């Protein structure tokens, strides 16, 4: 059976060690090459790619149509069927 403490409850925690543990740490983001997934640095001359080779592979994908920017998607509820417009014009 656990022992019960008597007296005032502790509302604080004793801090031990250096105070820099209290400061929030910067979140480290690991950047990777989008083609081969190797780690890259922002200071690299080919950033965001790891090398000139990966940069040229990416350029080739854009040139050959491997990457496509899609058109805006419309909801089916907002679209008006063409048949209903034709029927109204006939009346």
Q: What is the pLDDT along the chain (91 residues), one digit of tens a residue?
A: 556 666 666 655 555 555 555 667 777 778 999 999 999 988 888 899 999 999 999 999 999 988 888 888 776 666 555 655 555 555 5
Q: What is the DSSP string of 5-57?
A: P-SSPP-S----S-GGGSSPPPPP---B-TTT--B--TTSTTTTSSSHHHHHH
Distance (Å, whole) CA 47 – CA 38: 12
pLDDT at 44: 87
| CATH class in words for 27-66 | alpha beta
pLDDT tens per residue across span 19-36: 555 667 777 778 999 999
């Amino acid at each position: 059976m656990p022992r019960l403490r008597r007296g005032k409850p502790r509302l604080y925690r004793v801090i031990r060690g250096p105070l820099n543990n209290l400061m929030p740490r910067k979140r480290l983001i690991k950047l990777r090459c989008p083609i081969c997934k190797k780690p890259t640095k922002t200071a690299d001359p080919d950033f965001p790619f790891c090398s000139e080779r990966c940069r040229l592979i990416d350029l080739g994908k854009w040139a050959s149509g491997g990457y496509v920017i899609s058109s805006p998607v419309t909801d089916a509820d907002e679209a008006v069927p063409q048949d209903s417009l034709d029927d109204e014009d006939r009346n």
